[in-house]
């Protein structure tokens, strides 16, 4: 058999492998159907198929006519290699992956393993987005976490540090035919999908956003002019971030991390004028590390974001948000003095940033958000104190801050208000005020019923667990009974570590 790396691969778009008729052919090991579909959708002749999979044209003819079948695993291996099947297609016919995934998805068969630097090239970024969305659309969600769950430690931080380096040249310059009308359609759809959370009940589903991302990545594979390519990378970054946020909300942290990383890699290629958007992605990644009880990683990511924000003269309010992430990390480590220092810096920065023009993703960080986060972290510090007086002092500070957040919250910020109420309910337990705690949780549960937020449900589970110590109090017992009847089981620790 000839070296498959020397054969010319057919120009098969990744979208071909997600077609239902193609996946049926693979699952049934039906090479006749597969080759016919290659001819139908890709215009592949018998000669071209044979050249790619190292089979003589008469042999291909017999297979396509159904006069001969393919049963040997070695033969299917040759077909998979020759056609450049992505990993999820290889799994359907019982073959091993062509290589292991690393921080952002796989690559097509025959590609060399990616180093952290390789991941930040334009071509590899487009390729990984195309493959991970294909896996997602084929509902092979378990495949996204192969090789482990959440990536932490050096493997994570060394990859993200490449964000601070100059991007490599954009995809090869070309004269693609993508016109202004099509670009505007993509950008308009992306803007509409940003607000998935607010429009969740109107039928916007995760699969639709992944599908849009897959479509844009397919367009980006064709060389376009530099301005068009930059706009496509911006769209891919925004769509990847939306999918990451939805995965985060549902508790699927490995998948969320992959999409956050893809978003950061895509915006890196869009040009320095989009750096602040990448800072926002890093802030979200730090938040995810905090939700999964990885404060050291959150601190490392926050510092990468702070370095980038400083060098690009970020608005004071953006710096305040990053200092809040930094402080949250310190609180997770029990470093009270460092936490208080970061909080003081965040409060000063936010005050000095009044009236600044902010990027859209940073406009939600206001005095209410700062107070809510600070209050919740004082509660965390209180729970770690052995000294009764110190514990009570921190818990009281928590209650004061969260009360302020509730007063300042805009009425439409329902999910944030639910977080505040749950946080205050947990704080009242620390203050030994179970009746007030149950009252706050009742209000939060009413909001959650309309929101359907996975993150709010998990916070309610936290209160349910902590309130067990007060089960003799009638109001607490009634609220725990209500939650046990309305909330689903605690999420699996394989996905949700928070």
Predicted confidence (pLDDT) per residue in 351-382, tens digit: 998 888 888 888 889 999 999 999 999 999 99
Report whether pLDDT(282) > 70.
Answer: yes
State the average pLDDT over residues 399-409.
Answer: 96
Residue-wise pLDDT for 414-466, tens only, equals 999 999 999 999 999 999 999 999 999 999 999 988 887 788 888 999 999 99
Distances (CA, A) of 434 to 65, 398, 465: 75, 16, 13
**What is the pLDDT, as a whole number, of residue 357?**
86
Spell out the domain ranges in the chain: 4-98, 108-270, 405-498
Between residues 489 and 213, which one has the greater pLDDT? 213
Block residue for tokens 């073959």: 95
**Residue 104: predicted pLDDT:** 47
Q: For 452, left (φ over 0), alpha (ψ -120 to 50), or beta?
A: left
In what helix (H) or strand (E) does residue 184 lie, and over which residues does it extend? helix 180-193
How confident is residue 174, by pLDDT bands cut at 50, 70 and 90? low
Following DSSP, what letter does each residue of 227-267 receive, concatenated?
HHHHHHHHHHHHHHHHHHHHHHHHT-HHHHHHHHHHHHHHH
Q: What contacts 60, CB < 8 A, 6 or more positions away?
A: 35, 46, 49, 50, 53
**How many Cβ atoms sit within 10 Å of the Cβ of residue 21?**
13
Distance CA(129)–CA(236), nearest Å, equals 8
Count of positions (residues) in the chain: 498
CATH of 4-98, one of 1.10.260, 1.10.10, 3.30.70, 1.20.5: 1.10.260
Mean pLDDT in residue range 323-347: 96
Average pLDDT of the residues of the chain: 83
Instruction: Report if pTM > 0.85.
Output: no
Q: Which helix (H) or strand (E) holds 33?
A: helix 31-42
pLDDT of residue 142 exceeding 70, the answer is no
Q: How far is CA 294 from the centre of its chain?
A: 16
Using CA atoms, how far apart are residues 454 and 458, in angstroms rounded to an integer?
Answer: 6
Measured CA angle at 136 (ends 134, 137), to 5 deg: 65
Which percentage of the chain shows pLDDT scores above 90? 44
> What is the per-residue pLDDT for 116?
54
- For residue 314 the two structure tokens come to 């970020």
Q: How much is the pLDDT for 401?
A: 97
pLDDT-based confidence at residue 10 (cuts at 50, 70, 90): confident
Report pLDDT for 144: 47
- The structure tokens listed for 470 are 């007060």
* 12-62 confidence digits (pLDDT tens): 877 788 778 888 889 888 999 999 999 888 888 888 888 888 887 778 888
- The span from the CA of 399 to the CA of 388, in Å, is 16
What is the rounded CA–CA span in Å between residue 325 and residue 287? Answer: 7
Stronger pLDDT, 109 or 462, i.e. the higher one: 462
| Helix, strand, coil % over all residues of the chain, rounded to 5 | 70, 0, 30
Give the per-residue pLDDT at 185: 87
pLDDT at 168: 64
Percent above pLDDT 70 for the chain: 86
Does residue 398 surpass a pLDDT of 90?
yes
Report which of 16, 177, 179 is spatially closest to residue 84, judged by C-alpha positions: 16
How many of the other CB atoms lie within 10 Å of CB of 466?
15
- Give me the pLDDT at residue 139, please: 60
Least confident of 26-40, 170-184, 196-210: 196-210
Long-range CB pairs of 215-221 (<8 Å, 24+ gap) are: 216/186, 217/126, 217/129, 217/130, 217/133, 218/13, 218/14, 218/15, 218/130, 219/176, 219/178, 219/186, 220/126, 220/171, 221/13, 221/126, 221/127, 221/130
Determine contact, residues 98/109, Cβ cutoff 8 Å.
yes
């Amino acid at each position: 058999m000839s070296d498959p790396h020397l054969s010319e691969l057919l120009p098969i778009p990744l979208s071909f492998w997600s077609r239902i008729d193609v996946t049926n052919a693979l699952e049934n090991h039906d090479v006749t159907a597969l080759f016919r579909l290659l001819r139908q959708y890709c215009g592949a002749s018998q000669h071209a198929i044979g050249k790619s999979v190292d089979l003589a044209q008469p042999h291909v003819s017999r297979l396509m006519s159904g006069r001969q079948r393919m049963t040997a695993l070695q033969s299917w291996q040759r077909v998979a290699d020759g056609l450049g099947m992505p990993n999820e297609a290889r799994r359907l016919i019982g073959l091993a992956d062509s290589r292991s995934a690393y921080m952002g998805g796989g690559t097509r068969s025959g590609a060399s393993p990616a180093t952290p630097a390789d991941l930040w090239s334009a071509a590899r970024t487009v390729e990984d987005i195309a493959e991970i969305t294909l896996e997602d659309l084929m509902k092979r969600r378990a495949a996204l976490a192969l090789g482990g769950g959440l990536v932490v430690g050096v493997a994570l931080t060394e990859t993200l540090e490449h964000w601070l380096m100059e991007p490599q040249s954009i995809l090869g310059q070309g004269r693609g035919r993508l016109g202004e009308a099509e670009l505007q359609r993509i950008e308009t759809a992306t803007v509409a999908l940003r607000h998935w959370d607010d429009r969740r009940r109107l039928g916007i589903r995760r699969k639709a956003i992944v599908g849009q991302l897959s479509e844009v990545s397919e367009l980006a594979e064709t060389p376009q002019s530099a301005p068009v390519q930059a706009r496509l990378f911006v769209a891919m970054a925004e769509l990847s971030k939306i999918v990451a946020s939805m995965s985060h909300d549902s508790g699927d942290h490995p998948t969320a991390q992959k999409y956050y990383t893809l978003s950061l890699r895509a915006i890196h290629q869009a040009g320095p004028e989009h750096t602040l958007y990448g800072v926002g992605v890093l802030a979200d990644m730090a938040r995810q590390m905090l939700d999964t009880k990885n404060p050291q990683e959150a601190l490392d990511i926050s510092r990468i974001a702070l370095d980038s924000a400083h060098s690009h003269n970020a608005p004071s309010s953006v710096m305040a948000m990053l200092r809040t992430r930094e402080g949250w990390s310190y609180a997770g480590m029990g470093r009270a003095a460092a936490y208080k220092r970061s909080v003081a810096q965040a409060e000063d920065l936010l005050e000095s940033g009044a009236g600044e023009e902010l990027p859209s993703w940073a406009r939600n960080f206001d005095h209410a958000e700062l107070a809510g986060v600070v209050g919740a972290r004082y509660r965390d510090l209180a729970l770690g104190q052995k000294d009764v007086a110190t514990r009570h002092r921190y818990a009281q500070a928590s209650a004061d801050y969260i009360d302020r957040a509730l007063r300042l919250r805009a009425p439409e910020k329902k999910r944030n208000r639910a977080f505040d109420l749950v946080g205050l309910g947990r704080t009242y337990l620390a203050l030994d005020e179970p009746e007030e705690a149950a009252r706050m949780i009742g209000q939060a549960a009413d909001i959650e019923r309309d929101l359907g937020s996975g993150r709010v449900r998990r916070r309610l589970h936290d209160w349910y667990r902590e309130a067990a110590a007060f089960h003799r109090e009638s109001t607490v017992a009634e609220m725990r009974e209500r939650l046990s009847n309305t909330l689903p089981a605690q999420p699996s620790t394989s996905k949700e570590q928070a």
